[in-house]
Amino acid sequence: MNVSIASRQLSQRVAFGLLIAATAIVVIAVLAIVLKMLISGSGAISWEFLTQAPSQAGKAGGIFPAIVGTFYLMLGTIIFALPVGVMAGIYLTEYARDNWLTRIINLAIVNLAGVPSIVYGLFGLGIFVLAFNFGMSLLAASLTLACQALAMTITTSREAILAVPREYREGSLASGATKWQTVRHIVLPQAKPGIITGAVLAMSRAAGETAPILVVGAAFLLPALPQSPFDQFMALPYHLYTVAAHVPGITDSTMWGVALVLLAVVLSFNILATIIRLRARQRRYSS
Amino acid sequence: MKMNSELLDKKTAMNNDLKLSTEGVNLYYGNFQALRNITLDIPERAITAIIGPSGCGKSSFLRIFNRMNDLITGARVEGRIELDGINIYAKSIDVVELRKKVGMVFQKPNPFPMSVFENVAYGPRRHGRHNRGELEEIVEKSLRRAALWDEVKDKLGQSALALSGGQQQRLCIARVLAVEPEVILMDEPCSALDPVATLKIEDLMRSLADNYAIIIVTHNMQQAARVSDMAAFLMMEKDRAGVLVEYGPTSELFTNPKDKRTEDYITGRFG
């Protein structure tokens, strides 16, 4: 008996240790990435670096156009992806009947998330750049990234809408509100924090994409800011890729500096999403 | 059923008229039949209680009157259900208009996560009333009729979710009253409440019965005996749910039940 208890306690300890180790690896990986960026890249960060256009193929000057381009891109992506995502989410949860067509649509949405990003790039090149004749442009890139972001905005909208308790819907319908009034005045306000969280995460993902924008409008070294949606643009991830891969003699610290700024943009949006979610949860429990 | 309709004649003579009636109503959820051939008349300005064991179809029966069963995929209603002599399942009926006339209070208080004021103003707003003064008047009147005004008049702007369970349920009743319905359906409105809050709701129901036809589903037979004028006993038999065993004035159903099964149920021998 004693032996058996001792061996059970040992296996318990081993399992516990393995679980802790696995968790620690995750934390260490994140910390290591952030620390490496900070140590190697913070030397490059200066007011000039953040506010000036690049010169000498990125070896000198700053990355201001790439920062601005990335923000334009995030904005452009969400302008297209959010309304379509929310409307599709409403349709699928509130209106669509559960039949084979709806099931195929749901399957399509799941697969949309699994399509490799370079495939979106080529799709965007074929459709937006060439067929619609938008050219290599901010507009074509935004639409391309929006297609990719749709999987996320639809899924998060749908989940946020489904999480609204049935009692609220019934209470509204029983008061003689129409289905649309119920969606508009009860369901959407309740689902809003979840929808916004999803949108912010979709934006942060769009900020980090390199492959799709490569073929639909990102430019290397374009000191002037885009003046219209039909202009080409610089973006942080693509800038990082080109300086790292194609610019000989670039200093390490410049390279890491670009990476650090990109990481800061993406992480700050992820943190923003977390804050929105936490605040919504707090409000729900405190009221 | 002959006996029942005679009793009902007496009752309705007192009330002058009928509000709702069902004739040969069957309700199906897919292949499952939840109600079987139910025929009864519901009087105006009175409380009609639907009693019976869990799963016998009480709530399903209640929800045919405001067509909330329409929301369930695969639900199908047969027979005739009339409000003021008009078939509410006719093609020409606008469900939204029907639900304005036939309000509903749910088992679990379900105030919306907004202020007390906005909860009561919700129905009128959806029906196109936006004038602030008019809304304030409706809100006050509805809260007074729901016996809640004195408790909440100083916190109309606060979240309705901060109220106690009993207050929330009275708020839900005020929300129904604000739409000026003709019938109020109550689906076990006190099952989530303590005895004191229950008593308040029952008093409120009695006072509302002066103006409305009220149908209440209740698990609690003492409650049915205390508040209702008419009572219907629904039951399930083996694999057959939704059978109407007996319907008549509450005093007679409880003191002198015609059916052995009713007697067994109200004396607590089963269920």
Alpha helices, H only, chain A = 2-41, 47-51, 64-90, 100-114, 117-124, 138-162, 166-174, 179-182, 188-208, 211-216, 236-246, 252-286
Distance CA A194, CA A154 (A): 11
**Domain A47-286, classified CATH 1.10.10.10, yes or no:** no
Distance CA A197, CA A187 (A): 16
Distance of CA B77 to the CA centre of its chain: 19
ipTM: 0.88
Contact status, residue B173 vs residue B105, Cβ threshold 8 Å = yes
Please tell me what DSSP assigns to residue A218. Answer: B
- Residue B24 tokens, joined: 């040969």
A287 has pLDDT over 80:
no
- Whether residue B41 lies inside any domain: the answer is yes
For residue B97, the chain A residues in CB contact (below 8 A) are 176
- Whether residue B146 lies inside any domain: the answer is yes
A74 has pLDDT over 50:
yes
- The stretch A221-250 carries a mean pLDDT of 90
- The stretch A63-76 carries a mean pLDDT of 94
Distance CA B261, CA B240 (A): 15
Question: Which of A98, A185, A118 is CA-nearest to residue B123?
Answer: A185
φ/ψ (deg, to 5) at B249: -60, 140
pLDDT digits (tens, 9 = 90+) for B84-107: 999 999 999 999 999 999 999 999
- H/E run at residue B83: strand B75-83
Q: Can you give the residue ranges of every domain in chain A?
A: 1-41, 47-286
φ/ψ (deg, to 5) at A88: -65, -40
pLDDT digits (tens, 9 = 90+) for B165-180: 999 999 999 999 999 9
Output the DSSP codes for A31-70.
Answer: HHHHHHHHHHHTTT--HHHHHS-EEGGGTEE--HHHHHHH
Q: Cβ of A171 and B172 within 8 Å?
A: yes
Q: Which residues have CB under 8 Å from A95's CB, separation 6+?
A: A179
Nearest Cα of chain B lies from the Cα of A32 at a distance, in angstroms, of: 43
- Whether residue B216 lies inside any domain: the answer is yes
pLDDT of res. A252: 87
Q: Looking at residue B232, which CATH number applies to its domain?
A: 3.40.50.300
pLDDT of res. B97: 94
Q: Cβ of B106 and A174 within 8 Å?
A: yes
pLDDT of res. A284: 65
For chain B, the domain total comes to 1
pLDDT of res. B241: 78
pLDDT of res. A285: 57
pLDDT of res. A166: 92
Mean pLDDT, all residues of chain A: 91
B14 has pLDDT over 60:
no
- Whether residue B182 lies inside any domain: the answer is yes
Nearest Cα of chain B lies from the Cα of A178 at a distance, in angstroms, of: 6
A234 has pLDDT over 70:
yes
pLDDT digits (tens, 9 = 90+) for B144-159: 999 999 999 999 999 9
- Whether residue B271 lies inside any domain: the answer is no
Could you tell me which chain A residue has the CA closest to the CA of B124? A175
pLDDT digits (tens, 9 = 90+) for B42-76: 999 999 999 998 888 899 999 999 999 988 888 99
- The stretch A94-119 carries a mean pLDDT of 91
pLDDT of res. A140: 96
B11 has pLDDT over 90:
no
Q: Cβ of B122 and A284 within 8 Å?
A: no
Distance CA B152, CA B144 (A): 10
Mean pLDDT, all residues of chain B: 90
- Whether residue B53 lies inside any domain: the answer is yes
Distance CA A44, CA A148 (A): 33
pLDDT of res. A279: 86
Residues spanned by the domain of B148: 2-266
Local structure of B42: helix, strand or coil: strand
Q: Cβ of B127 and A178 within 8 Å?
A: no
pLDDT of res. A221: 84
pLDDT of res. A1: 53
What is the pTM for the complete model shown?
0.83
Query: What's the pLDDT band for B126 if we cut at 50, 70, 90?
Result: very high
Chains A–B, number of C-beta pairs less than 8 Å apart = 66
pLDDT of res. B236: 83
For residue B123, the chain A residues in CB contact (below 8 A) are 175-177
Question: Which of A116, A118, A89, A83 is CA-nearest to residue A102?
Answer: A89
- The stretch B207-220 carries a mean pLDDT of 93
Local structure of A139: helix, strand or coil: helix
Question: Which of B189, B139, B142 is CA-nearest to residue B165?
Answer: B189
Nearest Cα of chain B lies from the Cα of A164 at a distance, in angstroms, of: 11
- Residue A210 tokens, joined: 């390199």
pLDDT of res. A2: 62
